[in-house]
Amino acid sequence: MNTYPHNLLSIEKSSLGRRGPQIRKAQKDASAYLPKEFLRRTPPNLPSLSEFDTVRHFTNLSRLNFCLDTHFYPLGSCTMKYNPKAYDVLSALDGFSALHPYTPQDYAQGTLSIIYGLRQQLKAITGLYDFTLQPAAGAHGEFTGALIAAAYHRSRKDFERKEIIIPDTAHGTNPATAVMAGCRVINIKSAPDGRVDIEELKKVLGPKTALVMLTIPNTAGLFEKNIKQIAKLAHEAGSLLYMDGANLNALIGMVKPANMGVDIMHINLHKTLATPHGGGGPGAGAVGVCEKLADFLPVPRVEFDGKKYKLSVKSKNTIGAVKSFYGNISVIIRAYCYLKQFDGQTLKEIAENAVLNANYVRVKLAKYFPAFFDEICMHECVLTIDKGMLPNAKTIDIAKMLLDMGFHAPTVYFPLIVPEAIMIEPTETENKQTLDKFISALISIFLEAGTNPEVLHQAPRKCPVKRIDEVMAAREPNLRW
Amino acid sequence: MFTSNTEKEKQEMLDAVGVKSIKDLFKDIEPSLLAGKFDLPAAMTEAELSAHIKQLAAENKPLVNFAGAGIYEHFIPAAVNAISSRGEFLTAYTPYQAEASQGTLQAIYEYQSCICALFEMGVSNASHYDGATALAEACGAAVRIKGKNKILLSAALNPEYKKVLNTYFKASNVAVFEDCPLNNATVDLNCLKEKLSSGEYAAFVLANPNFYGCLEDAKSISKITHEAGALLIAQVYPVSLGILETPGSYDADFAVAEGQCLGNTMSFGGPGLGIFTCKKEYVRYTPGRICGISKDADGKRAFVLTLQAREQHIRRERAASNICSNQALCALNAAVYLTLMGPYGMREVAEANIENAHILKDKICSLKGYKLKFDKPFFNEFVVECPKPAAQIIKAAAKKGILAGYDLGRNDKTLKNCLLVCATEMRTKADLETFISVLRGI
Amino acid sequence: MYEQENCKFAKTHEWAFNENGVAVVGISDHAQHEISDIVFVELPKKGAQVKAGQQCCVIESVKSASDIFSPVSGEIVEVNEALSSDAALVNREPHAGGWIFKVKMSDAKELDNLLTFEDYKKTL
């Protein structure tokens, strides 16, 4: 038995006529102002709860979640690091949150200076020439970057460049992005060491290549040793080099992407720069570019004339706007705060500790769940099941068993090139004691899987619900009350 | 900062890994790449940071707000933020492990249900980036359903949305857009009929209320659109649906909206909340996450992300959209807000908006030189023609602490004297009086 | 109904059964087993022209989306509407009620390019 609160829906707790907060009512009803045909016929089927009912309902829902504040959350490639509490308070200050986007610029200098300031910080940590903070998420940033590449080639009358080369380890967003930007995807197989196969790359690079899109380090947690050569080959072929910055946590303070030859990159502010994920968003996907691409960045942009910050839409080549307004401000403020707490020396402690933690987990588990690529990893390690030792074990069962032991599961079944993949990213903010407990948990799961695999298959038993029937959910979609 | 292992622990870990120093962990990176200098100013402590950020916040001067144009200032009960700032919601990831994410998942399901109820639509996804990007996705879906790439837009669609549509589809040419002209600020039904009769369009995009605040004859528009074999995409204002006819009632195939107005702060325009809804039959064309109900191994109700085979992590280059992150926390705010307000609260909020805006309209139009530009039914926003350029009025009013509205001359030179003015339920009688006396003084 | 022995198979796991010049198309028992719990079949459009080897519909499980290729060329004259409400038919009866679409063949000789059941089994 578990002691989690019962999961009635709000509408099931509803009692018609029960009311929440009061607002000042109108003197006359709507029909005094508007013809009847514009009015809705029946009130919406929303719950009728008191304020107290509502607070208790959602507070109890919150207790059904694992989250970073309560659980180790080693979700590979998602960089679930501590989200400093000060930033929550600071980003929510009225001065920021009560600002209408059409407030005249003189009255919005604080927010504009933060947009400008984060842009300078991102330039400093990447070596890139300029940034936009408009994109709302990593995938949105990818899309922005791909549009910039396409616009650049078009501006050179290089109309044939419509291919984007993507390795098979890439996140699914990369190929989906390429198609949205009007390009064709050229998939390339990775080399046996998990990195880009230079010979394969050479075969597909050519006058049609618009972009080579790489995640660095890649999703196997490995650094592209030959990145300078890759950049050179891409550039010689007339292509641009895109870096998916989802894994920047491994390099921050150590390597500037611009020095690797990167022309365009996005940074998931909600990953490397410690802003909370909010159960799936909002995130932010800042996009940086080299000098020749700067004029293609979206508008409006924030400029500084030495005295005042100004919004500018002046640009000959801009791709336009990828969303309304200037970016996800509350996320941008938090990221700005985070970088304000580091200097040029301490910044590298992020990457150093992230990489040390990942390698510690990898080595400690090597005898049980070996790393698929047996070498020093970066910020995350990708483990697999040794079918010789555990012929019947499945990663999904291991993931669910971890939940019962009080740990969020790692990313599983990704990257696709690794069978039964278990992708662990501890991040730098976890301490050794937590890692040791997690390692012990996985070792005990290993032992159980050898002797009693059925028990694993029945996990989780201690979560608010047991294993969920996903087939039923998809065959008979029930998506609303 | 924020790392917690001691030097001793780090040494133990290095020993376990079998390397001498942390440098050895970065051996794959050639030394020249590691030589860069990072030019950041001195690090701040939390106390210093706090003072710095508070000072920046104070450099913003929020004005008494009579601007809308896509982002609206509405009352947000304190309970909304109290709930969404809980770490259990704030610091969770996308609910990949459903059994450990029932809170987020049920909240998404309730969000989807509340939105469907408010819009009277069949299906809602778990949210999108903002209203403009949700509209772009709806246009993409319409193109796929109809196999035609032309989309007709109301000329009274928010110009920011038009910019985003163009950015989204310019490179791929998946959709091309054309404006349908207006007649006195609302869709010209004859033009609509004539344009659609070519049979070339996949969909018509209706803005209701439109960018000038006017309510459209949505039923007639829907009839004309469907008779021509095109889909109707409605871009609406969620708070208005507490009282106004819904996109479901006029048979819209897709309805999208900026949901910031439901329990989210304006925050200089972001984060927004992209509401995306459609008829049930088009659920497979919906981008992004969707939460559904299923059962667990004991037969107990459980929530889970579903219909995932539509999405990028499975379909990759064949996916309809690359969207991965949604705006879950903003959607949670909306769900809490709608739960707090309930069916009658939403009606009262909407009525308070209508009344405030109509009172303000009468007051402004009684001022010398000011008149209502378009005499059409409206919700909480309307256009006034001013005796001076709107830009001047905005500038002068700001000095008196008032944000007078949106300058329509930004996008249309012929409307340079026109101000788009909004009064939500947040504006008190005293605010209206102040606004009027400020205008009188300009 | 469309017994395996009487069908011809593509290497991509579709079968075709010749019904007087109209090919009934489905996926093999092996394929349905590999895909496992099928939750949705995105049917092709009736009246569409297809070429042999052309991708023309998608079968979804919870965690996958598999392309289905037409084994023959011609016009799609019928699709199995029953799959819209019960996609699992493909799992239960891959060679009967779980057929997917019918193609009026433009060149019935194309069937000769496909594998017999015996040969198909050897490819697995």
Could you read off the pLDDT of B346-371 as tens digits, one per residue?
A: 999 999 999 999 999 999 999 999 99
Report percent pLDDT > 70 for chain A. Answer: 99
Q: Which residue of B has its CA nearest to C66?
A: B315
- Number of inter-chain CB pairs under 8 A, A vs C: 15
Q: Determine the Cα–Cα distance for residues B288 and B284; give it in Å rounded to an integer.
A: 11
Q: What is the DSSP letter of B378?
A: B
Region of A262 please: left (phi>0), alpha (psi -120 to 50) or beta.
Answer: beta
Two tokens at B441?
């003084």
Q: Whole-angstrom Cα distance, residue B377 to residue C99? A: 55
Check if the beta carbon of residue A361 is closer than 8 Å to that of residue A421.
no
Inter-chain residue contact C64 with B309, CB threshold 8 Å: yes
Answer yes or no: do B82 and A339 touch at CB < 8 A: no
Map out the domains of chain B as residue ranges.
64-74+345-441, 78-337
- Read off the pLDDT of residues B26-84 as tens digits, 9 standing for 90 and up: 999 999 999 888 999 999 999 999 999 999 999 999 899 999 999 999 999 999 999 99
Q: Is the pLDDT of residue A2 over 70?
A: no
Report the interhelical angle of A432-451 vs A348-365 (nearest 10°).
Answer: 30
Q: Residues 136..155 of B with a Cβ closer than 8 Å to A: which? A: none
- Are A23 and B345 in contact, with CB atoms under 8 Å apart? yes
Tens-place pLDDT, residues C13-22: 999 999 999 9
Domain count, chain C: 1
So what's the pLDDT on residue B300?
Answer: 94
How many other CB atoms sit within 10 Å of the CB of residue C38?
27
Tell me which of A289 and B36 has the higher pLDDT. A289
pLDDT at residue A146, as a whole number:
97
Please say whether the dihedral angle defined by the alpha carbons of residues A396, A402, A404 and A409, taken in this order, is positive or negative. negative
The distance of A72 to chain C (nearest Cα, Å) reads 26
Residue C123 within any structural domain of the chain: no
Q: Do A471 and C87 touch (CB under 8 A)?
A: no
Fold for domain A88-340?
Aspartate Aminotransferase; domain 2 (3.40.640)
Q: Is the pLDDT of residue B226 over 50?
A: yes
Note the pLDDT of residue B316.
85
Q: Report chain A residues whose CB lies below 8 A from the CB of C90.
A: none
Q: Closest Cα to residue A303, out of A112, A99, A144, A102?
A: A112
**Mean pLDDT, to the nearest integer, of C32-48?**
93
Average pLDDT over residues A333-358: 97
Q: Of B74, B5, B39, B112, nearest to B264 (Cα)?
A: B74
pLDDT at A277: 96
Instruction: Count how many Cα atoms sit within 13 Å of the Cα of residue A156 in the half-sphere of its side chain.
Output: 14
Percentage of the residues of chain B whose pLDDT score is greater than 90: 93
- H helices within A98-164, ranges in order? 109-126, 138-155
Say which range, A261-265, B282-286, B332-336, has the weakest mean pLDDT.
B282-286
> Which H or E element spans position B292?
strand B291-295
Given this model, what pLDDT does residue A139 score?
95
Q: Could you tell me if the ipTM is greater than 0.90?
A: yes
The model's confidence at residue A3, banded by pLDDT at 50, 70 and 90, is low
What mean pLDDT is predicted for residues A439-460?
A: 95
| A349-358 per-residue burial string, b: 16 or more CB within 10 A, e: under 16 | bbbbbbbbbb
Confidence check: pLDDT of A22 > 60: yes
Give the three-state DSSP class for B371: strand
Per-residue model confidence (pLDDT) at position A7: 79
Residue C2 has pLDDT above 50, yes or no: yes
Residue A5 has pLDDT above 80, yes or no: no
The order of strands in the sheet holding B274-278 is B123-124, B274-278, B254-258, B231-236, B201-208, B150-154, B176-180
Greater confidence, A461 or B35?
A461
The SS3 call for residue A436 is: helix
Sign, CA dihedral B44-B48-B49-B55, equals negative
Mean pLDDT over B402-413 rounds to 97
Residue A133 has pLDDT above 60, yes or no: yes
Would you state the torsion angle of the CA atoms of residues C97, C101, C102, C107, taken in this order, to the nearest 10 degrees? Answer: -130
Instruction: Supply the pLDDT for residue B312.
Output: 85
Residue of B nearest to C55 (CA): B318
Query: B78-337 has which CATH code?
Result: 3.40.640.10
**How far apart are alpha carbons A388 and B61 in whole angstroms?**
66
Cβ contact, residue pair C65, B315, below 8 Å: yes
Chain A hits for B326, CB-CB cut-off 8 Å, are: 280-281
Q: Looking at chain B, which residue has its C-alpha nearest residue A24?
A: B352
Decide if A88-340 and A348-470 have a common fold. Answer: no
- pLDDT value of residue A99: 97
Residue boundaries of the structural domains of chain A: 88-340, 348-470
The whole domain housing C34 covers 4-108
Residue of A150, A194, A145, A149 lying closest to A169 (CA atoms): A194
Q: The domain B64-74+345-441 is classified under which CATH number: 3.90.1150.10, 3.40.50.300, 3.40.640.10, 3.30.420.40?
A: 3.90.1150.10
pLDDT of B323 over the 90 cut: no
Confidence band of A260 (pLDDT split at 50, 70, 90): very high
Token duo for residue B62: 């929020």
pLDDT tens-digit profile of A69-99?
999 999 999 999 999 999 999 999 999 999 9
What six digits make up the tokens of B156? 């009274």
Is residue A1 pLDDT above 60, yes or no?
no
For residue B357, CA distances in Å to A399, B378, B381 come to 55, 9, 7
**pLDDT category, B320, cuts 50, 70, 90?**
confident
Chosen for mutation from A3, A27, A38, A93 (greatest number of chain B CBs closer than 10 Å) is A38
- The set of chains that have 3 or more CB pairs under 8 A with C is A, B
A448, A373 Cβ separation under 8 angstroms:
no
Q: Looking at residue B322, what is its pLDDT? A: 87
Q: What is the pLDDT of residue A138?
A: 95
Chains in touch with A (3+ beta-carbon pairs under 8 Å) read B, C
**How would CATH label the architecture of A348-470?**
Alpha-Beta Complex (3.90)
